[in-house]
Amino acid sequence: MQLKPISRAVIPQALAKATRYRLLNEPAQAESICRDVLLAEPDNQDATFTLILSLSDRFGHKGASPMGDTLKLTEQLSDAYQRDYARGIIFERCAVATLEGHSHQAVYIAYEYLQQAMTWYEQAEKLRPEGNEDPILRWNTCVRMIEQHKLKPLPEEEQRMPVGE
């Protein structure tokens, strides 16, 4: 079977639907719509950003795209602020998925993901449009998650442990 293309004229409505599906916790539907928009208009930045959000909404769930694939999509964002901000979101959501997975190493892995997210948010903060404090809000959320879940870096002695021991 072949996919049916959408017309460029309906792209704004399609993107609005994708946003609504994300809000309804149906990221797979939002992802599909974004991919349809990108088939019609490959450089559509709103569709790319919404696709990244939709994919990261699914982290920790069956059938989720790997984090690396989602990070790779950020390279298609032409705006440096959006690229850095999206990368922060990806790492933050990986931390949340890690915590929800209840692995015995979750406190260390989630901590590292949040540290990465905070680094990206700090970079985005430097590039943010005037009046946009989203990176600051996200950075503060990461700090609160670290405190709430008592996350910490992997102990130094375990960082140096050879594989297999």
pLDDT tens sequence across 89-105: 999 999 999 999 888 89
pTM to 2 decimals? 0.91
pLDDT given at position 92: 98
Give the residue ranges of the chain where pLDDT is below 70.
157-165
**pLDDT value for 156:** 76
pLDDT, residue 104, reads 85
- pLDDT for residue 73: 98
Residues near 103 by beta carbon (within 8 Å), at least 6 away in sequence: 109
DSSP type of residue 135:
H
Instruction: List CB contacts of 107: < 8 A, sequence separation 6 or more.
Output: 149, 150, 151, 152
Q: How far apart, in whole angstroms, are the C-alpha atoms of residue 21 and residue 13? A: 12
